[in-house]
């Protein structure tokens, strides 16, 4: 199995604060890899580096064998790397269907075509059906509940048939029933061949779902391995309790 | 060579005045995320008021400064309360441009009514005098203007650094949410910050009026330069504004001397474009791109 | 359709109102409606507030002027035929400018566009051999019959308004429009999903500027003299922006409505207060009033109210808060 994503000695500084300190890890294709660590360990910053929202101060990031040069979320998305956000970002003034259609790759030639073509509508409806949001197809995204927005955001990532999906705290702020739903979807998609990198604080979820699990502390990787093993690693316990 | 140094001197002196003007703009943005397009007009207002004090009451502009500054501070607070506070947070940055532009037009209109459109200048007794130092002409008025600008700037920095209020302002500039959580009354700070920025405008205006002729329409020239300066320095960065202002003053004077006077105002735009292509956040600004 | 009705009425107007000053008013109203509609494509749809669009208006105006002084285009209807070329030329020319400006966001973008306006105005003053400097360019008045002198200009403006609205409408319903709206909502997320934001923004800007330039061209031909401070006038930008906000940013008819309200109001203000400089104060007051009291604009506010009334009529259903596990 080849590494789909390789982070090699990535570094990021904000003024005097070192958020990411020569962090290295890799994500193998076909896994649900977890990324955990106490608050301030740099997880979200690493996400931002990987997805091109922030330029790295040092180190190299390789996706699918190719180096991620200029930080450019658009190019990475087209290469198959999509992320979600903690706050469940959707396009509030657009409908659910439009939200999904935007996530599907378009060529510039289609600029003049109608907003939602019939084929796209069908695809969107199918996806909405999977996520049980079908009834809300025409609803403006601003009117969805937080949980529904999370699902919508998740669904949108799938429209472009990505290779790697980065989930930023998918279980944050939602009730346990919805967490279960989200977990179910992740497993289903994983079975279909999708690779996930999940940042999470919900430990039971991580233990159930992720293998391997990578632990960061103060911007560095301190442990990596199967969930059980990481859970018992003294370094990890130290990081969480000693912080 | 002589011309070069002469131009440098002139440029630095002018740059000092720009620095004072630009710092007010930067402060206004830092505290409220408001681009005060009316800053130019407020500076001209200060120039007119200083002119009036001098021509009608014989008060020297540098003395008149002491009277004007508190008055303009109050005006600034009033403007902030009436026109800027009602704007909601999300739309403030966007709408403030238009609202302050409207304010600028209003001020220009009022000044035109009061003073007509003839060019004025606060011609003091020392306005035409110049010293000759090592063979270089140094206009007395400009030196006074430069010194006054830096004195006021120095006062501003001192207030920001050493007073409790100043610390509150700086905290709000750096991180409004954190400041609020720490108990800073950001609404009051915004009003005060804006008041301070208008107060600097009045000082800058008084100084400007001595050196340059002005009329109500002059604010466009000013604001276009000032906007370029704060973009160059990085929005919200006071130090950046000062550095950028001095740099621009120098560049403009050198360009005017060595290349062409009519195109000298272009230096601002050229530098602005060059900066934007290479470093869109300006010299000292924070990178805006990307969601964190 | 609404559009057909409106344009039908507008086409017939010059025959109903033959007084020159009325037709003059109509021409300016149509002009600002076209400008506002065009501005809306960038400002309303993508959310990027450009405060320098008047620069392109001026470029269009000077383009026509320069055609007269530097080529033997002659009078009559020929300058009108040159307009589409002017539009396309300016649209393409605006691309490098847009590319630089779009390296910034929000407030900085607005500042860059304001700066652009001043740059163009300076250029107009300085490039004397091309633009006549502060003397301006005088265009020989065309030999249209005096009785119907206004008409060709009226229909030219109407044509540009039609183009502007057509562009606005077709962009809105297209994928380009969808991309622009997503940029307005959350540009970073749009980028993260692979939306080609750069392309969308540049296209919108080019189309917008081309339309604005064409309006400027007709204006130049109509006014017959082009001075830098009037052709590249910040008040033109402010005018079109204000009209868009008043009528409703992001809607199709909003900008037009805004223009139809404000241009007559503006002319009235100029008539009453123009002699004294109170005109600017009055203008500023209207401006502030709109910004502070009705920032969403007329059409969206009406839409909101209509929606609230509708909701009140229908008995509230229990809202499905969470998605049931299946």
Tell me the pLDDT tens digit for each residue of A202-218.
Answer: 888 888 888 899 998 88
C-beta atoms of B292 and A85 within 8 A: no
**Is the pLDDT score of B259 beyond 50?**
yes
**Is the pLDDT score of B91 beyond 80?**
no
Nearest-Cα residue of chain C relative to residue B262: C126
What percentage of chain C has pLDDT greater than the value 90? 37
Average of per-residue pLDDT across B85-106: 83
**Is the pLDDT score of B210 beyond 60?**
yes
The 3-state DSSP class for residue A25 equals strand
What percentage of chain A has pLDDT greater than the value 90? 12
**Is the pLDDT score of C55 beyond 90?**
yes
Q: What domain count does chain C have?
A: 1
In this complex, which of B103, B106, B288 lies closest to C105 when CB atoms are compared? B288
Nearest-Cα residue of chain C relative to residue A89: C189
**Is the pLDDT score of C60 beyond 90?**
yes
C-beta atoms of B101 and C51 within 8 A: yes
**Alpha-carbon dihedral sign for residues A137, A143, A149, A151:** negative
How many C-beta atoms surround the C-beta of residue B66 within 10 A?
11
CA-derived radius of gyration, chain B: 19
Average of per-residue pLDDT across A153-177: 89
C-beta atoms of B109 and C241 within 8 A: no
Q: Cβ contacts (< 8 Å) between A92 and chain C: which residues? A: 185
Tell me the pLDDT tens digit for each residue of B48-83.
Answer: 998 888 888 887 877 888 888 899 999 999 988 888
Mean pLDDT, chain B, integer: 83
And the tokens for A39? Answer: 């608050």
CA-closest candidate to residue B75, choices B217, B198, B249, B183: B198
Average of per-residue pLDDT across B242-257: 88
Q: What residues contact B173, with CB distance under 8 A and at least 6 apart?
A: B27, B30, B31, B193, B236
**Is the pLDDT score of B279 beyond 70?**
yes
C-beta atoms of B290 and A54 within 8 A: yes
Minimum mean pLDDT range among A88-102, B55-69, B275-289: B275-289
Query: Would you state the pLDDT for residue A139?
Result: 85
Minimum mean pLDDT range among B85-99, B230-244, C45-59, C228-242: B85-99
Query: Would you state the pLDDT for residue C28?
Result: 92
**Is the pLDDT score of C254 beyond 50?**
yes
Q: What does the alpha-carbon distance between residue C226 and residue C233 come to, in Å, rounded to a whole number? A: 11
Residues across chain A: 243
C-beta atoms of B277 and C103 within 8 A: yes
Q: What residues contact C213, with CB distance under 8 A and at least 6 apart?
A: C56, C57, C59, C60, C63, C86, C87, C89, C90, C91
Minimum mean pLDDT range among B264-278, C31-45, C243-257: B264-278
Tell me the pLDDT tens digit for each residue of A65-89.
Answer: 888 877 788 888 888 899 998 888 9
pLDDT grade for C79, boundaries at 50, 70 and 90:
confident
Average of per-residue pLDDT across C230-238: 87
Most confidently modeled range among A15-29, B111-125, C238-252, C259-273: C238-252
What does the CA dihedral C73, C78, C82, C84 come to, rounded to 10 degrees?
Answer: 180
Q: C72: which DSSP letter? A: -
Mean pLDDT, chain A, integer: 86
Place of tokens 């919200």: B236
Most confidently modeled range among B132-136, B139-143, C257-261: C257-261
Which residue range(s) make up the domain with C77? 19-233
Distance from CA of C260 to the nearest CA of A (A): 27
CB burial of A46-57 (b: ≥16 within 10 Å; e: otherwise) equals bbbbbbbbbebe
Place of tokens 């017959």: C224
pTM above 0.95, yes or no: no
**Is the pLDDT score of B287 beyond 50?**
no
Q: In Å, how far are B61, B117, B122 from B56, measured between CA atoms? A: 12, 19, 11
More confident residue, C69 or B100: B100
- Say whether residue B292 is in contact with chain A using an 8 A CB cutoff: yes
Longest pairwise C-alpha distance within chain A: 59
Q: What residues contact B4, with CB distance under 8 A and at least 6 apart?
A: B254, B257, B258
* A212: preceding bond cis by omega (within 30 degrees): yes
C-beta atoms of B98 and C234 within 8 A: no
- Could you tell me if residue C193 is inside a domain? yes
Query: Would you state the pLDDT for residue C318?
Result: 52
The residue extents of the domains of chain B are 2-278
C-beta atoms of B265 and C281 within 8 A: no
Query: Would you state the pLDDT for residue C203?
Result: 94
Q: CB-hemisphere CA count at 13 Å for C71?
A: 10
Q: In chain C, which among 153-192 make CB contacts under 8 A with chain B?
A: 188-189
Mean pLDDT, chain C, integer: 85
Query: Would you state the pLDDT for residue C29?
Result: 93
Q: What does the alpha-carbon distance between residue B120 and residue B205 come to, in Å, rounded to a whole number? A: 13
Tell me the pLDDT tens digit for each residue of A223-234.
Answer: 888 888 888 888
Q: C52: which DSSP letter? A: -
pLDDT grade for C90, boundaries at 50, 70 and 90:
very high
**Is the pLDDT score of A196 beyond 90?**
yes
**Is the pLDDT score of A174 beyond 90?**
no
- Say whether residue B290 is in contact with chain A using an 8 A CB cutoff: yes
pLDDT grade for C18, boundaries at 50, 70 and 90:
confident
Tell me the pLDDT tens digit for each residue of C136-186.
Answer: 888 877 777 777 777 888 888 999 999 999 999 999 999 999 999 999 999
Query: Would you state the pLDDT for residue B286?
Result: 58
- Could you tell me if residue C316 is inside a domain? no
Average of per-residue pLDDT across B176-201: 84
Q: What residues contact C12, with CB distance under 8 A and at least 6 apart?
A: none
Nearest-Cα residue of chain B relative to residue A55: B290
What percentage of chain C has pLDDT greater than the value 70? 93
Residue to mutate among A40, A53, A153, with most B CBs inside 10 A, is A53
Q: What does the alpha-carbon distance between residue B218 and residue A242 come to, in Å, rounded to a whole number? A: 63
- The second-level CATH assignment, the architecture, of B2-278 is Orthogonal Bundle (1.10)
């Amino acid at each position: 199995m080849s590494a789909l994503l390789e982070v090699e000695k990535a570094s990021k500084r904000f003024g005097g604060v070192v958020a990411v300190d020569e962090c290295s890890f890799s994500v193998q294709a076909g896994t649900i890899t977890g990324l955990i660590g106490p608050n301030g360990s740099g997880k979200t910053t690493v996400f931002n580096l990987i997805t091109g929202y922030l330029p790295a101060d040092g180190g190299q990031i390789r996706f699918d064998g190719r180096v991620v040069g200029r930080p450019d979320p658009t190019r990475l998305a087209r290469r198959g790397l999509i992320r979600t956000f903690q706050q469940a970002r959707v396009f509030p003034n657009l409908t659910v269907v439009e939200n999904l259609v935007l996530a599907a790759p378009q060529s510039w030639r289609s600029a003049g075509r109608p907003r939602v073509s019939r084929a796209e509508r069908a695809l969107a409806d199918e996806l909405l059906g999977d996520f049980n949001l079908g009834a809300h197809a025409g609803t403006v995204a601003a009117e969805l509940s937080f949980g529904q927005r999370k699902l919508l955001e998740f669904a949108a990532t799938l429209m472009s048939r990505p290779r790697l999906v980065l989930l930023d705290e998918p279980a944050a702020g939602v009730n346990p029933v919805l967490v279960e739903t989200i977990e179910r979807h992740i497993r289903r998609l994983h079975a279909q061949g999708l690779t996930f990198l999940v940042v999470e604080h919900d430990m039971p979820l991580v233990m159930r779902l992720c293998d391997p699990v990578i632990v960061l502390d103060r911007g560095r990787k301190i442990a990596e391995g199967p969930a059980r093993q990481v859970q018992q690693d003294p370094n990890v316990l130290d990081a969480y309790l000693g912080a | 060579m002589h011309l070069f140094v002469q131009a440098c001197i002139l440029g630095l002196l002018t740059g000092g005045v720009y620095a004072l003007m630009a710092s007010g703009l930067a402060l206004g943005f830092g505290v409220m995320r408001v681009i005060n397009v009316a800053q130019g007009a407020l500076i001209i207002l200060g120039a007119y008021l200083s002119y009036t004090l001098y021509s009608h009451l014989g008060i020297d502009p540098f003395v008149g400064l002491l009277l004007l500054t508190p008055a303009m501070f109050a005006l600034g607070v009033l403007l902030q309360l009436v026109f800027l506070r009602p704007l909601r947070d999300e739309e403030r940055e966007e709408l403030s441009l238009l609202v302050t532009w409207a304010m600028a037009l209003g001020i220009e209109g009022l000044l035109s009514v009061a003073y007509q459109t003839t060019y004025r200048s606060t011609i003091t007794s020392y306005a035409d005098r110049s010293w000759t130092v090592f063979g270089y002409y140094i206009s007395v008025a400009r030196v006074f203007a430069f010194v006054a600008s830096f004195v006021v700037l120095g006062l501003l920095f001192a207030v920001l650094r050493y007073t409790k209020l100043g610390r509150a302002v700086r905290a709000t500039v750096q991180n409004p949410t954190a400041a609020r959580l720490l108990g800073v009354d950001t609404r009051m700070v915004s009003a005060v910050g804006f008041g301070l920025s208008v107060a600097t405008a009045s000082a800058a205006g008084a100084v400007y009026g001595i050196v340059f002729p002005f009329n109500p329409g002059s604010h466009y020239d000013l604001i276009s330069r000032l906007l370029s300066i704060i973009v160059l320095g990085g929005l919200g960065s006071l130090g950046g504004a000062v550095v950028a202002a001095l740099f621009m003053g120098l560049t403009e004077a050198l360009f005017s001397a060595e290349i062409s006077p009519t195109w000298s105002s272009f230096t601002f735009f050229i530098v602005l474009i060059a900066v934007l292509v290479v470093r869109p956040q300006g010299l000292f600004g924070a990178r805006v791109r990307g969601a964190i | 359709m609404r559009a057909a009705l409106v344009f039908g009425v507008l086409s017939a107007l010059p025959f109903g109102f033959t007084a020159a000053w009325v037709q003059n008013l109509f021409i300016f109203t149509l002009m600002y409606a076209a400008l506002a509609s065009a501005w809306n494509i960038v400002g309303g749809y993508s959310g990027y507030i450009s405060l320098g669009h008047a620069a392109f208006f001026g470029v269009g105006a000077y383009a026509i002027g320069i055609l007269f002084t530097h080529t033997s285009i002659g009078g009559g209807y020929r300058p009108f035929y040159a307009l589409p070329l002017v539009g396309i030329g300016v649209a393409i020319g605006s691309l490098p400018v847009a590319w630089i400006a779009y390296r910034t966001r929000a407030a900085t973008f607005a500042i860059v566009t304001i700066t652009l306006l001043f740059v163009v105005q300076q250029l107009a003053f300085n490039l004397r051999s091309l633009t006549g400097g502060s003397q301006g360019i005088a265009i020989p008045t065309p030999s249209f019959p005096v009785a119907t002198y206004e008409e060709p200009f009226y229909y030219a403006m109407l044509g540009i308004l039609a183009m502007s609205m057509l562009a606005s409408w077709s962009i809105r319903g297209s994928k380009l429009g969808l991309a622009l709206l997503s940029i307005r909502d959350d540009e970073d997320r749009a980028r993260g999903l692979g939306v080609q934001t750069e392309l969308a923004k540049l296209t919108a800007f080019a189309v917008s500027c081309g339309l604005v330039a064409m309006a400027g061209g007709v204006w130049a031909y109509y006014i017959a003299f082009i001075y830098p401070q009037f052709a590249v006038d910040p008040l033109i930008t402010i005018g079109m922006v204000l009209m868009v906000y008043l009528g409703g940013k992001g809607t199709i008819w909003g900008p037009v409505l805004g223009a139809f309200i404000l241009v007559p109001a503006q002319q009235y203000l100029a008539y009453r207060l123009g002699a004294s400089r109170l005109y600017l104060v009055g203008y500023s007051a209207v401006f502030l009033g709109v910004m502070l009291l009705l920032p969403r604009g007329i059409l969206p506010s009406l839409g909101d109210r209509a929606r609230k009334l509708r909701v009140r009529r229908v008995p509230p259903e229990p809202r499905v808060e969470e998605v049931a596990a299946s």
